[in-house]
Protein backbone atom coordinates (compact mmCIF):
# COMPACT_ATOMS: atom_id res chain seq x y z
CA UNK A 1 0.00 0.00 0.00
CA UNK A 2 1.24 3.48 -0.82
CA UNK A 3 -0.12 6.53 0.97
CA UNK A 4 0.64 9.89 -0.57
CA UNK A 5 -0.56 13.18 -1.98
CA UNK A 6 1.96 12.83 -4.81
CA UNK A 7 2.85 15.39 -7.45
CA UNK A 8 3.38 12.61 -9.98
CA UNK A 9 0.45 10.22 -9.56
CA UNK A 10 2.34 7.38 -11.26
CA UNK A 11 4.83 7.27 -8.37
CA UNK A 12 2.07 5.72 -6.30
CA UNK A 13 2.43 2.54 -8.39
CA UNK A 14 6.14 2.07 -7.80
CA UNK A 15 7.25 -0.84 -5.61
CA UNK A 16 3.69 -1.98 -4.95
CA UNK A 17 3.28 -5.49 -3.59
CA UNK A 18 -0.05 -7.36 -3.35
CA UNK A 19 -1.70 -6.95 0.04
CA UNK A 20 -2.89 -10.42 1.14
CA UNK A 21 -5.64 -9.15 3.41
CA UNK A 22 -7.36 -7.48 0.43
CA UNK A 23 -7.54 -10.74 -1.57
CA UNK A 24 -10.36 -12.22 0.57
CA UNK A 25 -9.03 -15.63 -0.36
CA UNK A 26 -10.71 -17.33 2.60
CA UNK A 27 -14.26 -16.46 1.52
CA UNK A 28 -16.51 -19.23 0.18
CA UNK A 29 -19.10 -18.63 -2.60
CA UNK A 30 -21.78 -18.90 0.10
CA UNK A 31 -20.16 -16.01 1.97
CA UNK A 32 -19.82 -13.82 -1.12
CA UNK A 33 -23.45 -14.41 -2.08
CA UNK A 34 -25.01 -13.93 1.36
CA UNK A 35 -28.30 -12.02 1.86
CA UNK A 36 -29.50 -10.72 -1.55
CA UNK A 37 -26.09 -10.79 -3.28
CA UNK A 38 -26.87 -14.11 -5.01
CA UNK A 39 -30.14 -13.06 -6.67
CA UNK A 40 -28.83 -12.68 -10.21
CA UNK A 41 -25.62 -13.41 -12.12
CA UNK A 42 -23.74 -10.28 -13.14
CA UNK A 43 -20.34 -9.97 -14.79
CA UNK A 44 -17.47 -8.46 -12.77
CA UNK A 45 -19.44 -8.14 -9.52
CA UNK A 46 -17.67 -6.77 -6.45
CA UNK A 47 -16.94 -9.05 -3.55
CA UNK A 48 -19.36 -7.59 -0.96
CA UNK A 49 -16.73 -7.78 1.77
CA UNK A 50 -14.40 -5.57 -0.27
CA UNK A 51 -17.07 -2.88 -0.67
CA UNK A 52 -17.92 -3.18 3.05
CA UNK A 53 -14.33 -2.62 4.06
CA UNK A 54 -13.99 0.51 1.93
CA UNK A 55 -17.28 1.86 3.31
CA UNK A 56 -16.09 1.21 6.86
CA UNK A 57 -12.74 2.94 6.29
CA UNK A 58 -13.89 5.96 4.31
CA UNK A 59 -17.34 6.89 5.65
CA UNK A 60 -19.44 7.13 8.79
CA UNK A 61 -23.06 6.16 9.54
CA UNK A 62 -25.44 8.69 8.00
CA UNK A 63 -23.08 9.58 5.11
CA UNK A 64 -24.13 9.26 1.48
CA UNK A 65 -22.29 6.57 -0.48
CA UNK A 66 -22.56 6.59 -4.28
CA UNK A 67 -21.78 4.02 -6.97
CA UNK A 68 -21.99 5.53 -10.49
CA UNK A 69 -21.50 2.11 -12.15
CA UNK A 70 -23.62 0.19 -9.65
CA UNK A 71 -24.13 -2.96 -11.75
CA UNK A 72 -26.07 -5.40 -9.59
CA UNK A 73 -25.98 -3.05 -6.59
CA UNK A 74 -23.31 -4.60 -4.36
CA UNK A 75 -22.15 -1.24 -2.94
CA UNK A 76 -25.72 -0.18 -2.16
CA UNK A 77 -26.55 -3.36 -0.25
CA UNK A 78 -23.41 -3.15 1.84
CA UNK A 79 -23.95 0.57 2.51
CA UNK A 80 -27.52 -0.13 3.68
CA UNK A 81 -26.30 -2.90 5.97
CA UNK A 82 -23.85 -0.42 7.47
CA UNK A 83 -26.39 2.36 8.00
CA UNK A 84 -25.18 4.63 5.18
CA UNK A 85 -27.65 6.10 2.70
CA UNK A 86 -26.69 5.18 -0.84
CA UNK A 87 -27.44 5.97 -4.45
CA UNK A 88 -26.43 3.98 -7.51
CA UNK A 89 -26.58 4.60 -11.21
CA UNK A 90 -26.31 2.32 -14.23
CA UNK A 91 -27.33 2.66 -17.87
CA UNK A 92 -28.14 -1.01 -18.07
CA UNK A 93 -31.87 -1.67 -17.47
CA UNK A 94 -30.97 -5.18 -16.29
CA UNK A 95 -28.66 -3.70 -13.64
CA UNK A 96 -31.48 -1.37 -12.62
CA UNK A 97 -33.96 -4.23 -12.20
CA UNK A 98 -31.48 -6.40 -10.29
CA UNK A 99 -30.28 -3.58 -8.03
CA UNK A 100 -33.88 -2.61 -7.22
CA UNK A 101 -34.74 -6.18 -6.30
CA UNK A 102 -31.59 -6.64 -4.23
CA UNK A 103 -31.77 -3.40 -2.24
CA UNK A 104 -35.45 -3.61 -1.29
CA UNK A 105 -36.25 -5.79 1.66
CA UNK A 106 -39.64 -7.45 1.83
CA UNK A 107 -41.29 -8.70 5.01
CA UNK A 108 -40.40 -12.42 4.76
CA UNK A 109 -43.88 -13.58 5.79
CA UNK A 110 -45.52 -11.44 3.10
CA UNK A 111 -43.02 -12.66 0.49
CA UNK A 112 -43.40 -16.32 1.36
CA UNK A 113 -47.21 -16.11 1.15
CA UNK A 114 -46.97 -14.48 -2.28
CA UNK A 115 -44.41 -17.04 -3.41
CA UNK A 116 -46.60 -19.99 -2.40
CA UNK A 117 -49.62 -18.49 -4.15
CA UNK A 118 -47.73 -17.62 -7.33
CA UNK A 119 -45.97 -20.97 -7.63
CA UNK A 120 -49.13 -22.90 -6.73
CA UNK A 121 -50.92 -21.09 -9.54
CA UNK A 122 -48.07 -21.62 -12.04
CA UNK A 123 -47.67 -25.31 -11.34
CA UNK A 124 -51.41 -25.82 -11.76
CA UNK A 125 -51.39 -24.26 -15.21
CA UNK A 126 -51.68 -26.98 -17.85
CA UNK A 127 -48.67 -27.26 -20.15
CA UNK A 128 -49.39 -25.33 -23.34
CA UNK A 129 -50.08 -27.06 -26.61
CA UNK A 130 -47.66 -25.62 -29.10
CA UNK A 131 -46.13 -26.24 -32.47
CA UNK A 132 -42.77 -24.88 -33.39
CA UNK A 133 -44.07 -24.21 -36.87
CA UNK A 134 -46.86 -22.04 -35.45
CA UNK A 135 -47.14 -18.43 -36.63
CA UNK A 136 -44.57 -16.08 -35.13
CA UNK A 137 -44.91 -15.64 -31.43
CA UNK A 138 -45.93 -12.17 -30.33
CA UNK A 139 -46.48 -10.52 -26.99
CA UNK A 140 -49.93 -9.49 -28.14
CA UNK A 141 -51.05 -13.07 -28.86
CA UNK A 142 -50.11 -14.15 -25.40
CA UNK A 143 -51.68 -11.06 -23.88
CA UNK A 144 -48.76 -10.44 -21.57
CA UNK A 145 -49.40 -7.27 -19.63
CA UNK A 146 -47.10 -4.56 -20.98
CA UNK A 147 -44.50 -3.33 -18.55
CA UNK A 148 -43.25 0.28 -18.54
CA UNK A 149 -40.68 1.07 -21.20
CA UNK A 150 -41.42 -2.05 -23.23
CA UNK A 151 -40.68 -1.73 -26.90
CA UNK A 152 -41.31 -4.96 -28.73
CA UNK A 153 -40.92 -3.95 -32.35
CA UNK A 154 -38.48 -6.18 -34.18
CA UNK A 155 -37.95 -8.55 -31.27
CA UNK A 156 -40.21 -11.59 -31.85
CA UNK A 157 -37.95 -13.26 -34.41
CA UNK A 158 -34.99 -12.75 -32.09
CA UNK A 159 -36.95 -14.38 -29.26
CA UNK A 160 -37.42 -17.44 -31.45
CA UNK A 161 -33.70 -17.50 -32.04
CA UNK A 162 -33.09 -17.98 -28.32
CA UNK A 163 -36.16 -19.79 -27.01
CA UNK A 164 -38.36 -22.70 -28.07
CA UNK A 165 -42.08 -21.97 -28.48
CA UNK A 166 -42.82 -24.14 -25.41
CA UNK A 167 -40.46 -22.05 -23.28
CA UNK A 168 -41.89 -18.79 -24.62
CA UNK A 169 -45.34 -19.94 -23.53
CA UNK A 170 -44.09 -20.86 -20.06
CA UNK A 171 -42.25 -17.53 -19.73
CA UNK A 172 -45.37 -15.68 -20.80
CA UNK A 173 -47.41 -17.54 -18.15
CA UNK A 174 -44.91 -16.51 -15.50
CA UNK A 175 -44.84 -12.92 -16.73
CA UNK A 176 -48.61 -12.74 -16.75
CA UNK A 177 -48.86 -14.16 -13.21
CA UNK A 178 -46.32 -11.62 -11.92
CA UNK A 179 -48.22 -8.82 -13.64
CA UNK A 180 -51.31 -9.62 -11.52
CA UNK A 181 -49.46 -8.92 -8.24
CA UNK A 182 -50.49 -5.61 -6.76
CA UNK A 183 -47.40 -4.94 -4.69
CA UNK A 184 -44.63 -3.34 -6.74
CA UNK A 185 -41.86 -4.71 -4.50
CA UNK A 186 -43.15 -8.23 -5.12
CA UNK A 187 -43.32 -7.65 -8.87
CA UNK A 188 -39.74 -6.36 -8.87
CA UNK A 189 -38.59 -9.38 -6.86
CA UNK A 190 -40.22 -11.86 -9.24
CA UNK A 191 -39.20 -10.03 -12.42
CA UNK A 192 -35.63 -10.36 -11.13
CA UNK A 193 -36.19 -14.12 -10.67
CA UNK A 194 -37.56 -14.31 -14.20
CA UNK A 195 -34.60 -12.39 -15.62
CA UNK A 196 -32.16 -14.73 -13.87
CA UNK A 197 -33.68 -17.91 -15.29
CA UNK A 198 -33.80 -16.69 -18.90
CA UNK A 199 -30.30 -17.97 -19.63
CA UNK A 200 -30.76 -21.57 -18.41
CA UNK A 201 -34.11 -21.94 -20.21
CA UNK A 202 -32.75 -20.53 -23.50
CA UNK A 203 -30.47 -22.12 -26.09
CA UNK A 204 -27.58 -20.02 -24.70
CA UNK A 205 -24.68 -22.36 -24.03
CA UNK A 206 -24.61 -22.78 -20.25
CA UNK A 207 -20.84 -22.74 -20.02
CA UNK A 208 -20.36 -19.66 -22.16
CA UNK A 209 -20.58 -16.07 -20.97
CA UNK A 210 -20.74 -15.04 -24.62
CA UNK A 211 -23.97 -15.34 -26.65
CA UNK A 212 -23.34 -18.78 -28.14
CA UNK A 213 -26.25 -21.07 -29.09
CA UNK A 214 -26.42 -24.79 -28.34
CA UNK A 215 -29.58 -26.13 -29.92
CA UNK A 216 -29.22 -29.64 -28.49
CA UNK A 217 -29.14 -28.25 -24.91
CA UNK A 218 -31.75 -29.92 -22.64
CA UNK A 219 -34.15 -27.14 -21.64
CA UNK A 220 -35.65 -27.32 -18.15
CA UNK A 221 -39.26 -26.40 -17.37
CA UNK A 222 -39.19 -22.61 -16.93
CA UNK A 223 -41.92 -22.62 -14.27
CA UNK A 224 -40.14 -25.18 -12.07
CA UNK A 225 -36.83 -23.36 -12.38
CA UNK A 226 -38.52 -20.05 -11.66
CA UNK A 227 -40.08 -21.36 -8.45
CA UNK A 228 -36.85 -23.01 -7.31
CA UNK A 229 -34.84 -19.83 -7.80
CA UNK A 230 -37.55 -17.67 -6.21
CA UNK A 231 -37.37 -19.89 -3.10
CA UNK A 232 -33.60 -19.44 -2.89
CA UNK A 233 -34.02 -15.71 -3.30
CA UNK A 234 -36.65 -15.69 -0.54
CA UNK A 235 -34.08 -17.22 1.83
CA UNK A 236 -31.66 -14.43 0.87
CA UNK A 237 -34.38 -11.85 1.50
CA UNK A 238 -34.99 -13.35 4.97
CA UNK A 239 -31.28 -13.16 5.78
CA UNK A 240 -31.15 -9.53 4.58
CA UNK A 241 -34.25 -8.69 6.63
CA UNK A 242 -32.83 -10.22 9.81
CA UNK A 243 -29.48 -8.45 9.41
CA UNK A 244 -31.17 -5.11 8.76
CA UNK A 245 -33.45 -5.58 11.79
CA UNK A 246 -30.48 -6.44 14.04
CA UNK A 247 -28.63 -3.34 12.81
CA UNK A 248 -31.73 -1.11 12.90
CA UNK A 249 -31.09 -0.27 9.27
CA UNK A 250 -34.35 -1.37 7.62
CA UNK A 251 -35.25 2.22 6.77
CA UNK A 252 -31.82 3.26 5.50
CA UNK A 253 -32.35 4.47 1.91
CA UNK A 254 -30.60 2.65 -0.94
CA UNK A 255 -31.72 4.16 -4.22
CA UNK A 256 -30.86 2.71 -7.63
CA UNK A 257 -31.36 4.85 -10.74
CA UNK A 258 -31.25 4.08 -14.39
CA UNK A 259 -29.01 6.88 -15.62
CA UNK A 260 -25.67 7.69 -17.17
CA UNK A 261 -22.62 8.04 -14.91
CA UNK A 262 -21.85 11.31 -16.72
CA UNK A 263 -25.06 12.86 -15.38
CA UNK A 264 -25.54 11.83 -11.79
CA UNK A 265 -28.93 12.74 -10.31
CA UNK A 266 -27.29 14.50 -7.36
CA UNK A 267 -26.61 18.09 -6.31
CA UNK A 268 -23.03 19.43 -6.10
CA UNK A 269 -21.00 18.36 -3.05
CA UNK A 270 -23.54 15.88 -1.70
CA UNK A 271 -21.70 12.53 -1.56
CA UNK A 272 -19.12 11.63 1.07
CA UNK A 273 -17.81 8.54 -0.65
CA UNK A 274 -17.86 7.04 -4.13
CA UNK A 275 -17.06 3.35 -4.49
CA UNK A 276 -17.16 1.91 -7.95
CA UNK A 277 -15.78 -0.52 -10.45
CA UNK A 278 -15.98 0.99 -13.93
CA UNK A 279 -16.70 -0.95 -17.10
CA UNK A 280 -13.60 -2.42 -18.76
CA UNK A 281 -12.58 -1.33 -22.20
CA UNK A 282 -13.94 -3.66 -24.92
CA UNK A 283 -13.98 -6.76 -22.71
CA UNK A 284 -17.55 -7.21 -21.51
CA UNK A 285 -20.13 -6.17 -24.07
CA UNK A 286 -22.82 -5.71 -21.41
CA UNK A 287 -25.51 -5.14 -24.01
CA UNK A 288 -24.78 -8.51 -25.61
CA UNK A 289 -24.45 -10.37 -22.34
CA UNK A 290 -27.78 -9.07 -21.09
CA UNK A 291 -29.67 -9.33 -24.37
CA UNK A 292 -32.01 -12.09 -23.15
CA UNK A 293 -33.45 -9.88 -20.41
CA UNK A 294 -33.45 -6.78 -22.63
CA UNK A 295 -35.19 -8.83 -25.29
CA UNK A 296 -37.75 -10.43 -23.03
CA UNK A 297 -38.69 -7.27 -21.16
CA UNK A 298 -38.56 -5.20 -24.36
CA UNK A 299 -36.03 -2.66 -23.07
CA UNK A 300 -34.47 -1.86 -26.42
CA UNK A 301 -35.76 -2.10 -29.93
CA UNK A 302 -32.50 -3.48 -31.33
CA UNK A 303 -29.08 -4.59 -30.15
CA UNK A 304 -27.19 -1.72 -31.81
CA UNK A 305 -29.25 0.92 -30.06
CA UNK A 306 -28.87 -0.97 -26.78
CA UNK A 307 -25.06 -1.15 -27.10
CA UNK A 308 -24.53 2.53 -27.79
CA UNK A 309 -25.17 3.66 -24.23
CA UNK A 310 -22.40 1.61 -22.65
CA UNK A 311 -18.95 2.96 -21.87
CA UNK A 312 -16.26 0.48 -22.93
CA UNK A 313 -18.26 -0.80 -25.92
CA UNK A 314 -16.45 -2.27 -28.89
CA UNK A 315 -19.18 -2.16 -31.50
CA UNK A 316 -20.01 0.73 -33.80
CA UNK A 317 -17.48 3.21 -32.39
CA UNK A 318 -17.12 6.06 -34.89
CA UNK A 319 -14.20 8.49 -35.17
CA UNK A 320 -15.07 11.37 -32.81
CA UNK A 321 -13.03 13.98 -31.02
CA UNK A 322 -11.77 12.60 -27.71
CA UNK A 323 -10.00 14.10 -24.72
CA UNK A 324 -8.36 11.80 -22.20
CA UNK A 325 -6.40 14.34 -20.14
CA UNK A 326 -3.70 11.68 -19.64
CA UNK A 327 -0.32 11.53 -21.47
CA UNK A 328 -0.19 7.81 -20.72
CA UNK A 329 -3.60 7.25 -22.33
CA UNK A 330 -2.45 9.08 -25.47
CA UNK A 331 0.68 6.91 -25.59
CA UNK A 332 -1.34 3.69 -25.23
CA UNK A 333 -3.76 4.78 -27.97
CA UNK A 334 -0.84 5.57 -30.33
CA UNK A 335 0.73 2.16 -29.67
CA UNK A 336 -2.54 0.32 -30.35
CA UNK A 337 -3.12 2.51 -33.42
CA UNK A 338 0.06 1.11 -34.97
CA UNK A 339 -1.56 -2.33 -34.96
CA UNK A 340 -5.30 -1.70 -35.21
CA UNK A 341 -6.86 1.71 -35.79
CA UNK A 342 -10.39 0.57 -34.89
CA UNK A 343 -9.29 -0.69 -31.48
CA UNK A 344 -7.31 2.53 -30.95
CA UNK A 345 -10.53 4.52 -31.55
CA UNK A 346 -12.39 2.40 -29.02
CA UNK A 347 -9.74 2.86 -26.34
CA UNK A 348 -9.47 6.62 -27.00
CA UNK A 349 -13.24 6.96 -26.64
CA UNK A 350 -13.22 4.85 -23.47
CA UNK A 351 -10.64 7.03 -21.71
CA UNK A 352 -12.37 10.20 -22.89
CA UNK A 353 -15.77 9.02 -21.58
CA UNK A 354 -14.20 7.89 -18.29
CA UNK A 355 -12.72 11.38 -17.90
CA UNK A 356 -16.24 12.82 -18.22
CA UNK A 357 -17.39 10.44 -15.48
CA UNK A 358 -14.55 11.52 -13.17
CA UNK A 359 -15.47 15.18 -13.76
CA UNK A 360 -19.00 14.35 -12.66
CA UNK A 361 -17.76 12.43 -9.60
CA UNK A 362 -15.66 15.44 -8.62
CA UNK A 363 -18.76 17.63 -8.84
CA UNK A 364 -20.90 15.52 -6.52
CA UNK A 365 -18.26 14.74 -3.90
CA UNK A 366 -17.99 16.90 -0.78
CA UNK A 367 -14.58 18.58 -0.29
CA UNK A 368 -12.16 15.93 1.06
CA UNK A 369 -14.62 13.22 0.03
CA UNK A 370 -13.06 9.98 -1.21
CA UNK A 371 -13.32 8.07 -4.46
CA UNK A 372 -12.41 4.34 -4.43
CA UNK A 373 -11.98 2.80 -7.86
CA UNK A 374 -11.51 -0.92 -8.33
CA UNK A 375 -9.85 -1.58 -11.69
CA UNK A 376 -7.58 -4.07 -13.41
CA UNK A 377 -5.14 -3.58 -16.28
CA UNK A 378 -5.35 -5.57 -19.47
CA UNK A 379 -3.76 -6.19 -22.88
CA UNK A 380 -5.12 -5.20 -26.28
CA UNK A 381 -3.35 -5.86 -29.58
CA UNK A 382 -0.25 -6.82 -27.61
CA UNK A 383 -0.19 -3.46 -25.78
CA UNK A 384 -0.61 -3.21 -22.01
CA UNK A 385 -3.60 -1.02 -21.26
CA UNK A 386 -2.73 0.43 -17.87
CA UNK A 387 -6.23 1.50 -16.85
CA UNK A 388 -5.29 2.15 -13.23
CA UNK A 389 -2.32 4.37 -14.08
CA UNK A 390 -4.31 6.28 -16.71
CA UNK A 391 -7.14 6.85 -14.22
CA UNK A 392 -4.62 8.09 -11.64
CA UNK A 393 -3.30 10.64 -14.16
CA UNK A 394 -6.79 11.73 -15.16
CA UNK A 395 -7.93 12.12 -11.56
CA UNK A 396 -4.81 14.03 -10.60
CA UNK A 397 -5.26 16.42 -13.55
CA UNK A 398 -8.88 17.05 -12.52
CA UNK A 399 -7.98 18.01 -8.96
CA UNK A 400 -7.99 14.77 -6.96
CA UNK A 401 -5.06 13.73 -4.77
CA UNK A 402 -4.17 10.04 -5.13
CA UNK A 403 -3.84 9.08 -1.48
CA UNK A 404 -3.52 5.32 -1.61
CA UNK A 405 -3.08 2.51 -4.11
CA UNK A 406 -3.78 -1.06 -3.07
CA UNK A 407 -2.72 -3.98 -5.22
CA UNK A 408 -4.85 -7.04 -4.63
CA UNK A 409 -4.71 -10.56 -5.93
CA UNK A 410 -7.92 -11.98 -7.36
CA UNK A 411 -8.66 -15.54 -6.32
CA UNK A 412 -9.52 -17.41 -9.53
CA UNK A 413 -12.91 -18.55 -8.27
CA UNK A 414 -14.21 -15.01 -8.31
CA UNK A 415 -13.32 -13.55 -11.73
CA UNK A 416 -12.46 -15.06 -15.08
CA UNK A 417 -8.70 -15.12 -15.23
CA UNK A 418 -7.89 -15.55 -18.86
CA UNK A 419 -7.90 -13.25 -21.84
CA UNK A 420 -7.03 -13.47 -25.45
CA UNK A 421 -4.07 -11.10 -25.80
CA UNK A 422 -5.00 -9.88 -29.28
CA UNK A 423 -8.67 -9.07 -28.68
CA UNK A 424 -8.57 -8.44 -24.94
CA UNK A 425 -11.77 -10.50 -24.56
CA UNK A 426 -12.24 -13.16 -21.92
CA UNK A 427 -11.39 -16.59 -23.26
CA UNK A 428 -11.45 -20.22 -22.22
CA UNK A 429 -8.52 -21.11 -19.96
CA UNK A 430 -7.19 -23.54 -22.59
CA UNK A 431 -7.50 -21.01 -25.44
CA UNK A 432 -6.15 -17.94 -23.69
CA UNK A 433 -2.65 -16.64 -24.03
CA UNK A 434 -2.77 -14.15 -21.21
CA UNK A 435 -3.91 -14.36 -17.61
CA UNK A 436 -6.24 -11.43 -17.05
CA UNK A 437 -6.53 -9.60 -13.78
CA UNK A 438 -4.54 -11.96 -11.60
CA UNK A 439 -4.26 -8.70 -9.69
CA UNK A 440 -6.24 -5.50 -9.70
CA UNK A 441 -5.87 -2.08 -8.13
CA UNK A 442 -7.93 -0.19 -5.65
CA UNK A 443 -7.21 3.43 -6.37
CA UNK A 444 -8.14 5.85 -3.61
CA UNK A 445 -8.36 9.53 -4.40
CA UNK A 446 -9.43 12.48 -2.28
CA UNK A 447 -11.13 15.59 -3.62
CA UNK A 448 -8.65 18.29 -2.76
C1 LIG B 1 -17.84 -3.64 -13.58
S2 LIG B 1 -19.56 -3.39 -13.74
C3 LIG B 1 -20.02 -2.96 -12.11
C4 LIG B 1 -20.35 -4.17 -11.28
C5 LIG B 1 -20.77 -3.80 -9.86
N6 LIG B 1 -19.67 -3.31 -9.07
C7 LIG B 1 -21.42 -5.00 -9.14
O8 LIG B 1 -20.98 -5.37 -8.06
O9 LIG B 1 -22.35 -5.59 -9.70
C10 LIG B 1 -19.63 -1.88 -14.61
C11 LIG B 1 -21.03 -1.34 -14.91
O12 LIG B 1 -20.93 -0.12 -15.63
C13 LIG B 1 -22.16 0.02 -16.35
N14 LIG B 1 -22.05 1.11 -17.33
C15 LIG B 1 -21.48 1.11 -18.56
N16 LIG B 1 -21.59 2.31 -19.12
C17 LIG B 1 -22.25 3.12 -18.23
C18 LIG B 1 -22.64 4.48 -18.23
N19 LIG B 1 -22.46 5.27 -19.30
N20 LIG B 1 -23.26 4.98 -17.13
C21 LIG B 1 -23.52 4.18 -16.05
N22 LIG B 1 -23.18 2.87 -16.02
C23 LIG B 1 -22.54 2.34 -17.09
C24 LIG B 1 -22.38 -1.37 -16.93
O25 LIG B 1 -23.73 -1.55 -17.26
C26 LIG B 1 -21.93 -2.24 -15.74
O27 LIG B 1 -23.04 -2.59 -14.96
Tell me the pLDDT band of 39, cut-offs 50, 70 and 90: very high
pLDDT (tens digit per residue) in 277-322: 999 886 667 777 888 998 888 886 667 777 888 898 876 667 778 8
pLDDT (tens digit per residue) in 203-248: 999 888 788 899 999 999 999 999 999 999 999 999 999 999 999 9
Mutate to test the pocket of ligand 1, among 24, 55, 69, 258 (most ligand atoms within 8 A of CB): 69
Would the pLDDT of 143 be above 70? no
Dist. CA 182 → ligand 1 center (Å): 30
* Residue scoring higher pLDDT (64 or 420): 64
* Residue scoring higher pLDDT (301 or 338): 338
Task: Give the pLDDT score at 290.
Answer: 86
Would the pLDDT of 346 be above 50? yes
* Residue scoring higher pLDDT (422 or 172): 172
Burial level of 368, CB count in 10 A (0-12/13-18/19+)?
exposed
Q: What pTM was estimated for this model as a whole? A: 0.89
Averaged over 430-439, what is the pLDDT?
54
- Helix (H), strand (E), coil (C) string for the chain: CEECCCCCHHHHHCCCCCCHHHCCCCCCHHHHCCCCCCCCCCCCCCCHHHHHHHHHHHCCCCCEEEECCCCCCHHHHHHHHCCCEEEEEECCHHHHHHHHHHHCCCCHHHHHHHHHHHHHHHHHCCCCCCCCCCCCCCHHHHCCCCCCCCCCCCCHHHHHHHCCHHHHHHHHHHHHHHHCCCCHHHHHHHHHHHHHHHHHHCCECCCCCCCCECCCCCCCCHHHHHHHHHHHHHHHHHHHHHHHHHCCCCCCCEEEEECCCCCCCCCCCCEEEEEECCCCCCCCCHHHHCHHHHHHHCCCCCHHHHHCCCCCCCCCCCCCCCCCCCHHHHHHHHHHHCCCHHHHHHHHHHHHHHHHHHHHHHHHEEEEEEEEEEECCEEECCEEECHHHHHHHHHHHHCEEEEEEEEEECCCCCCCCEECCCCCCECCCCCCCEECCCEEEEEEEEEC
Of all residues in the chain, the percent with pLDDT exceeding 90 is: 67
pLDDT (tens digit per residue) in 363-380: 999 999 999 999 999 899
Least confident of 41-55, 155-169, 331-345: 155-169
Asked if residue 97 has its Cβ within 6 Å of ligand 1, the reply is no
Asked if residue 440 has its Cβ within 6 Å of ligand 1, the reply is no
* Closest CA to ligand 1's atom 13: 69
Least confident of 88-92, 341-345, 432-436: 432-436
Asked if residue 407 has its Cβ within 6 Å of ligand 1, the reply is no
Asked if residue 279 has its Cβ within 6 Å of ligand 1, the reply is yes
Dist. CA 282 → ligand 1 center (Å): 13
Task: Give the pLDDT score at 105.
Answer: 95
> Where are the domain boundaries for CATH 3.40.50.150 in the chain?
2-92+255-287+313-447
Would the pLDDT of 147 be above 60? no
Tell me the pLDDT band of 186, cut-offs 50, 70 and 90: very high
Task: Give the pLDDT score at 159.
Answer: 83
Task: Give the pLDDT score at 438.
Answer: 83
Would the pLDDT of 362 be above 60? yes
- Of 279, 267, 242, 256, give the one whose Cα is nearest residue 75: 256
What integer best gives the mean pLDDT of the chain?
86
Mutate to test the pocket of ligand 1, among 43, 256, 310 (most ligand atoms within 8 A of CB): 310
Q: Are 50 and 296 in contact (CB under 8 A)?
A: no
pLDDT (tens digit per residue) in 149-182: 444 444 556 788 899 988 998 999 999 999 999 9
Task: Give the pLDDT score at 124.
Answer: 82
Least confident of 183-187, 199-203, 319-323, 401-405: 319-323
* Residue scoring higher pLDDT (273 or 320): 273
**Residue 401: CA atoms inside 13 Å, Cβ hemisphere, count?**
13
Which residues are bridge partners to 375 per DSSP? 441
Would the pLDDT of 148 be above 60? no
Averaged over 74-103, what is the pLDDT?
97
Task: Give the pLDDT score at 142.
Answer: 43
Per CATH, the number for 2-92+255-287+313-447 is: 3.40.50.150
Task: Give the pLDDT score at 422.
Answer: 59
Amino acid sequence: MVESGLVNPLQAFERLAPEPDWAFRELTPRQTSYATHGYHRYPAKFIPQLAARLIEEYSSPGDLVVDPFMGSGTTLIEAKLMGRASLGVDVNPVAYLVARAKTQCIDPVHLEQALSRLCGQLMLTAPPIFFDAAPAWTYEKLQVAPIPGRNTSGWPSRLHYWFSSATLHQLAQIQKAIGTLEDEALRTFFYCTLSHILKPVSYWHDRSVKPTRRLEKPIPDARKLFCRHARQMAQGNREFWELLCQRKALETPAVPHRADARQLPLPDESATLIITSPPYVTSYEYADLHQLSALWFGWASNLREFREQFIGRSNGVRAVETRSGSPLAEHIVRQIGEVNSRKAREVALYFSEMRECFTEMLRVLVPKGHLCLVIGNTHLCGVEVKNAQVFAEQLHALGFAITRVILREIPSKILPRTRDKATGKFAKVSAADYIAYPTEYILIARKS
